[in-house]
Amino acid sequence: MKFIASIALLYRPRLANLIVSLIQTSGYRVGKFLRSFWGAEDLSELAVQLDASGLESRNQFLRLLIILGSLAQLIFGAIVLGLGASGALTGGVYFGIALIISYPLVWSHLILLVVLAIGIPSWPKALGRLIVLTILARQVRQLRAAHDFKIVAVAGSAGKTSTKFAIAQTLESKLKVAWQQGNYNDPVSVPLVFFDREMPNIINVFAWLKIFWQNANDIENWNYDAVVLELGTDAPGDIAQFGKYLDVDLAVVTAIAPEHMEFFGSLENVASEELALAKFSKKLLINTDLCAGEYLADLKKYETYGFGKSDWQLANVKFRAQKHSFDLKHSGKKMFSTSSNFLNQNQLYGLAAASTVASELGFSASEIKKVVTKLEPVNGRLKPLVGIKNSTILDDTYNSAPEAALAALETLYKIKAPQKIAILGSMNELGNYSEEAHKLVGQACDPKKLDLVVTIGASAKKWLAPIAKQAGCKVASYDDPVSAGKYAKKKLKSKALVLVKGSQNGVFAEEAVKTLLRNKADTSQLVRQSPAWLAIKAKRFEF
């Protein structure tokens, strides 16, 4: 019945929206589109519900072609049918009916020729990625066959990098660990972590040849006990790519939450993507607080961590003097009690994951406690920095999503300060969920706990700012982070507490932080300060 309903869906007026949406959620990859189209029982579950008025120009163009092409085929089919019925065209009746009936299937696939044509300029780069990935994957498999070591992989909608840092730094206290502090989390960059290589331009042939040669020479003498990886995804099917060369010993899933919703469309699709990690992992550890149970029903075996009922539980959590104290329990039995400099309670998840992984790899409770007590926040992840006028800046500028923004605001609220300012940037990659998400954060802006809200970017200005104003907050909106930072600087009072939160591409809230720092040397602790990133930002706004 679902299949019949799915076929019927093709004849609805919103066919063009459905097909364009499925093309988008397939990442404009023809092969992935075809697998989704022909493999689904219900096409509507695979696609985002698009608002035609909000489509970007490329999607508007594809949608228009489908509509015009379908109409042209229907008109032509009707003409052929009429000619056949009048006897003017032999077989015209059957041919006309076939044309009329087949228009959804015809234009669902003819449009792919246009998609291919649009993507032609990127083919050399795509081919280069395929060749590079094939060689790197083979070298990783050779490395795995030649040496005995553990692979720990971290995936999830949020908190991956902080969790990776906590795990790697904990394991390093006793083991030799290969890991990368940057954002090497796609199928091509992840193999480089094994060999400690820098990522060159994908079309730099000579750089890649050098890497392949160096990797081949290093395989025999490679000497690590463990590798800690971060696995990211931008569209459905990305996580599965890692399974072509990774055999993971222990996998951690940090959260299932809205991410890249312009491609995933629903949380069910996000969950399916992130949990695909289970297919090539020997053991799975899941944050049960941030991964709803409904998404875990099909998993055969896994362990959990979190504040609630879980195998590895954070218990008796208290916040005093800007420190969290907590107990870590395993199967209800206390392993140790300690404290942490992390300001946000959710940051403790990384410590729990690190403790669990370390325990699985043979660390004692005392060894784990000694390390996790000393761990510090990662740059750009709610890290305290000293600002002008003896202010404190909570630098949370690496990226932003609704759950993370709400948690950051809660942290801001619970720390005492004579003045509190929230600089909140737009949240990217949320698709049709963007309006709801920004309004949700706007509703969390409490005028009793905030002296000023400053927004950065169009989405925050359009949806977050009005809701915060309605709640009674004083709000100012700016298109770029430098202007937002300069305005906050004018309003800043002695010993103020300033939260800066925003997504990365197009928002770059770290540049607002830069205007408020007391010591400019602390710029080195901000995210995206490489020459390449600074060049990108220089094209967007003036420093």
488: domain CATH number? 3.90.190.20
Contacts of 41 (CB under 8 A, 6+ apart): 2, 3, 6
Q: Would the CA dihedral through 82, 88, 93, 94 be positive or negative?
A: negative
**Is residue 35 domain-shared with residue 151, that is, in the same domain?**
no
Which of the 8 DSSP states describes residue 431? G
**Within-domain flag for 129:** no
**Cβ proximity of 392 and 470 under 8 Å:** no
CB atoms within 10 A of CB 383: 22
Structure tokens at 296: 């875990």
**Within-domain flag for 490:** yes
**Is residue 216 domain-shared with residue 98, that is, in the same domain?**
no
pLDDT recorded at residue 226: 97
Domain interval for residue 477: 383-540
**Is residue 197 domain-shared with residue 284, that is, in the same domain?**
yes
**Within-domain flag for 127:** no
Categorize the per-residue pLDDT at 52 as very low, low, confident or very high, splitting at 50, 70 and 90: very low
In degrees and rounded to multiples of 5, residue 402 shows phi and psi of -55, -45
**Alpha carbon distance 473, 506 (integer Å):** 25
Residue 97 has pLDDT above 70, yes or no: yes
Mean pLDDT across the chain: 89
Last residue in a domain, options 372, 392, 419:
372
**Is residue 281 domain-shared with residue 419, that is, in the same domain?**
no
Structure tokens at 510: 């770290």
**Is residue 259 domain-shared with residue 362, that is, in the same domain?**
yes
**Within-domain flag for 378:** no
**Within-domain flag for 140:** no
Q: What is the pTM of this model?
A: 0.76
**Alpha carbon distance 306, 349 (integer Å):** 7
Mean pLDDT of 14-29: 79
Mean pLDDT of 177-199: 92
314 in helix, strand or coil?
A: strand
Residue 36 has pLDDT above 90, yes or no: no
Last residue in a domain, options 345, 372, 399:
372
Q: Which of 354-368, 456-470, 521-535 has the lowest mean pLDDT?
A: 521-535
**Is residue 317 domain-shared with residue 413, that is, in the same domain?**
no
Last residue in a domain, options 348, 372, 396:
372
**Within-domain flag for 128:** no
- Which of 143, 125, 272, 296 lies closest to 204, judged by CA? 125
Structure tokens at 452: 């000023």
- Whichever domain contains 251, its CATH number is 3.40.1190.10
Mean pLDDT of 80-102: 90
**Is residue 362 domain-shared with residue 397, that is, in the same domain?**
no
Residue 523 has pLDDT above 60, yes or no: yes
pLDDT recorded at residue 40: 67
Structural domains of the chain, count:
3
The more confident residue out of 304 and 56 is 304
Categorize the per-residue pLDDT at 235 as very low, low, confident or very high, splitting at 50, 70 and 90: confident
**Within-domain flag for 441:** yes
